[in-house]
Structure 1
């Protein structure tokens, strides 16, 4: 049986940064320390452990060096081509007409060595397409600008589009939003409670048990500090012709692009302790990020980590052009819903306009979810056993997987069927006028660039092509 060979790599293709083997070899060393470090400490055989760790590091360096030598990338027609592999040759082509965004990430080790990771997000992709690890910082910025220019159909040498800063999160607000988070407060209360208990118990065994019980509270505080403060440190939201740009991070920095047309849904959330400050956060479902891990999804779904209500409302109107979700008239849930939501049924409401469907819910933790009609993936009616007994049903307006979940809860069956049918029809009509997959194409049709492009991320799932050769 004849096997098609991968095309030879063109001479003009480039290699990754020469320090890439060092960064990849570090992972092998960390693995060796994690596996054998504790055993070495207990047995006292530190010399033997040191030799083992060194051997792991050398193997990692050699593997990284071979991977670096055989990995090259460059433009091949209307695609970015990445060739890799020594024994099993792989050639991956990322179509530029499906390109959604190019993100630049700089892990702590990369910042120390002056290198960056380039992540390519494409419509219909399940994860980042062949991330380039690692490039020099200037090379990563230039390649990102060239990719976006080619995707837009303009000259490849066009420099990166200028930007206008929309919102910067003040450090004091970010710190206070972390302190007022539920996880942080719960952790502090838990630790204080155990500390008070220590005053009444003098027994050493009890003291040790109480101190060890503080670990969950310490973990909760650490998670809250890192999730809100560490990841969103120095958060900047900027506007440019290619969409919204996000820069953030304390140790690992992230430069992310969120074209408005890629936004599948937006959720405005307000925890109870933020209500006195009128603070909210904005989370989004974004096409191209749906197949990532939960940790990556949390990092890429935050549009604003904390903002005043007015600031968030302004950003919301820009992300969803042509609509003002906060002004959409809402219809409340019927009275039987009080049996299933005794404290929050009056907050259950939904509304629609020509562009979006809006869902409101929550008493202690308030949510306002907005989904554009054109981004609706499906509409379904769900009725649980208690709902059947009470004569109620819920309507789910589905988008791409992510943190935004639009559920019109606890409606009368006839109303639920009408909502589902009408929303399906609105989605069908909206898709006819939605713009093409190239989310920067509309800028070629306008004399003045505006960051309000659309791309719903649907279409054939083959956002890149790949061929292997044994």
Structure 2
């Protein structure tokens, strides 16, 4: 079956400009409206509808037969087929089933008929709905990437879906479903067109002599892709996760600890009070099922994991039944979290999570699906992955070791004050913060050690806060804010004077890093763009992006947080 339909009616909206023929390879990227694969309605919700109808019929068949058939027909919990044959209503039953199938097929056909998409030189558009129409657009100059997902049922019939990731909340546009071959080709076309828009925008911003016009300071928020993923073959993964390690890590995960605690509590309760055997079993069995299902789901998600460099960024693939392939372009990673569960210390294993621009709404449960970019790996694996995710941040083995296994003498971290032992007796010696020219490193946790890396060019804000007890002890907390995600950068129980100095240092370093990145991106774009003559009545003025000078902090009282500088 082909995704193309030459009889697609003319679009209601004005036709967009067709992409340049040299930039596209698929005949579906011609600026015209095309329909999804004919099986799309079935995969998008048709199977769920069929299951619901089956459950309703199975549970309400007695009432349905009594309601629709005359009283002379008796139905005494017989098999439906025997009932039809014994009462001589086979023809009527066949007619009812046929009418139901025709109605169902008509609904699917209508949904497919009104679900169209087109790729123009400026945007990707998708229209759907019959009674309630939906029209979504993803401007190519705001595209962050294109994810390719192959659910288990879709893979059986050779289909896949694309998700065009936009720079904003709930900004993604989904193409569900296309044949796998068409999906891969269309994905490359969208990435190629988005990359072309980046160069075109650079040409518009160039003034005479090659001086860049004013550009945004928050380069990380709306960063678009810097390359096109044109690799013919799947790149080789830089990390190999043996099956034995996956199984053992699942058994040593946090869910296993909770499961053991629940079982121990149930056994202790039965020994002390045998009368509680029924409530204990009633609580233990659902808990065991829940933990078991979670462990199996995590295992299935991490099987076939791979991470490799590609021409467009870092390509991450995972999943046994549902395979997800996502490319993380440069500038899309806003925070990195490296942590080690307590039982993983035996194997020296770590997990890496990231905050990235996902384009999904906050209520979308799949937004955290790609939070783990390294489900389990050694410290050497962590170093290799960090070089891919944060190529501009030099993180060597010594710096990483100090963050994961510190504190160490002379590691450069500003640690918690000894006064913090009152409220943080376990981790006050380990808590620390280190500001480098490219990133902020936050080290926390004793039993579950964690190292958070916040690239300064992606940092949205930094907060200095105190609670009542912190003020009493002369302590403060520093929190770095990035885009939403599973990673949170916070260091507590710092001396309030040192925290204020670190807050000033982070502010200045973040402004400098954003300015340097913006200037570097502008210089790179200028080298590829042709100068555009400005109009005669305007004169571009380049803004000053140098970080403001910071005065030393004023004398502070040990009982209160230093005031913010203007």
Whether 1:176 aligns to 2:248 is yes
The more displaced of 222-231 and 19-28 is: 222-231
The whole-number CA distance in structure 1 between the counterparts of 2:32 and 2:307 is: 36
| Kept in 2: contact 1:73–1:80 (CA 8 A) | yes
Whether 1:335 aligns to 2:418 is yes
Using CA pairs under 8 Å that are at least 6 residues apart, name the structure with larger relative contact order, 1 or 2: 1
The whole-number CA distance in structure 1 between the counterparts of 2:46 and 2:78 is: 24
The whole-number CA distance in structure 2 between the counterparts of 1:437 and 1:40 is: 70
Are the structure 2 counterparts of residues 107 and 53 from structure 1 closer, same or farther at C-alpha, using a change threshold of 3 Å?
A: farther
Are the structure 2 counterparts of residues 60 and 239 from structure 1 closer, same or farther at C-alpha, using a change threshold of 3 Å?
A: farther
- What residue number does 2:476 align with? 393
Q: Write 1 or 2 for the structure with the bigger share of strand.
A: 1
| Kept in 2: contact 1:383–1:393 (CA 8 A) | yes
| Kept in 1: contact 2:229–2:311 (CA 8 A) | no
The whole-number CA distance in structure 2 between the counterparts of 1:45 and 1:381 is: 72
Within 5 A, what are the aligned runs for 1:382-421?
382-421=465-504
**Which residue of 101, 105, 119 corresponds with 2:163?**
119
The alpha carbon displacement at 1:344 in A equals: 1.2
SS at the partner of 1:425?
helix
The alpha carbon displacement at 1:319 in A equals: 1.4
The alpha carbon displacement at 1:340 in A equals: 1.5
The alpha carbon displacement at 1:390 in A equals: 1.4
The more displaced of 407-416 and 353-362 is: 407-416
The alpha carbon displacement at 1:64 in A equals: 3.5
Cα deviation digits, residues 20-70 of structure 1 (max 9, x gap): 12223212223445677667799979969xx99999987665444222112
Are the structure 2 counterparts of residues 295 and 85 from structure 1 closer, same or farther at C-alpha, using a change threshold of 3 Å?
A: closer
Cα deviation digits, residues 258-283 of structure 1 (max 9, x gap): 22420001000100100111100000
Structure 1 residue runs of 5 or longer lacking an equivalent are 446-470
The whole-number CA distance in structure 2 between the counterparts of 1:173 and 1:354 is: 36
The more displaced of 184-193 and 364-373 is: 184-193
Cα deviation digits, residues 396-446 of structure 1 (max 9, x gap): 11000111111121122222222222212211121112259999x87x96x
SS at the partner of 1:414?
helix
**Which residue of 328, 334, 343 corresponds with 1:273?**
343
**Which residue of 21, 24, 46 corresponds with 1:25?**
46
The alpha carbon displacement at 1:197 in A equals: 7.5
The whole-number CA distance in structure 1 between the counterparts of 2:425 and 2:194 is: 52
Are the structure 2 counterparts of residues 317 and 337 from structure 1 closer, same or farther at C-alpha, using a change threshold of 3 Å?
A: farther
The whole-number CA distance in structure 1 between the counterparts of 2:384 and 2:122 is: 37
Are the structure 2 counterparts of residues 67 and 371 from structure 1 closer, same or farther at C-alpha, using a change threshold of 3 Å?
A: same
- What residue number does 2:205 align with? none
Within 5 A, what are the aligned runs for 1:157-176?
159-160=230-231, 163-176=235-248
Are the structure 2 counterparts of residues 53 and 132 from structure 1 closer, same or farther at C-alpha, using a change threshold of 3 Å?
A: farther
| Kept in 2: contact 1:146–1:158 (CA 8 A) | no
Whether 1:255 aligns to 2:325 is yes
**Which residue of 493, 497, 511 corresponds with 1:428?**
511
Within 5 A, what are the aligned runs for 1:317-356?
317-321=387-391, 322-324=393-395, 326=400, 329-356=412-439
SS at the partner of 1:238?
strand
The whole-number CA distance in structure 2 between the counterparts of 1:314 and 1:220 is: 34
SS at the partner of 1:261?
coil
The alpha carbon displacement at 1:246 in A equals: 1.4
The alpha carbon displacement at 1:306 in A equals: 0.1
Are the structure 2 counterparts of residues 89 and 228 from structure 1 closer, same or farther at C-alpha, using a change threshold of 3 Å?
A: closer
Whether 1:65 aligns to 2:137 is no
The whole-number CA distance in structure 2 between the counterparts of 1:136 and 1:346 is: 56
- What residue number does 1:7 align with? 14
Cα deviation digits, residues 133-187 of structure 1 (max 9, x gap): 1111111111111111222229999944653421132211111110000212331
Within 5 A, what are the aligned runs for 1:111-260?
111-123=155-167, 125-127=168-170, 129-153=172-196, 159-160=230-231, 163-188=235-260, 190-191=262-263, 194=266, 208-260=278-330
The whole-number CA distance in structure 1 between the counterparts of 2:431 and 2:98 is: 60
The alpha carbon displacement at 1:227 in A equals: 4.4
Work out the number of aligned pairs and report it: 435
Q: What's the RMSD between the two structures over aligned residues?
A: 3.8
Are the structure 2 counterparts of residues 381 and 36 from structure 1 closer, same or farther at C-alpha, using a change threshold of 3 Å?
A: farther
Are the structure 2 counterparts of residues 186 and 157 from structure 1 closer, same or farther at C-alpha, using a change threshold of 3 Å?
A: closer
| Kept in 1: contact 2:35–2:115 (CA 8 A) | yes
The more displaced of 311-320 and 344-353 is: 311-320
The TM-score normalised by the length of structure 1 is 0.81
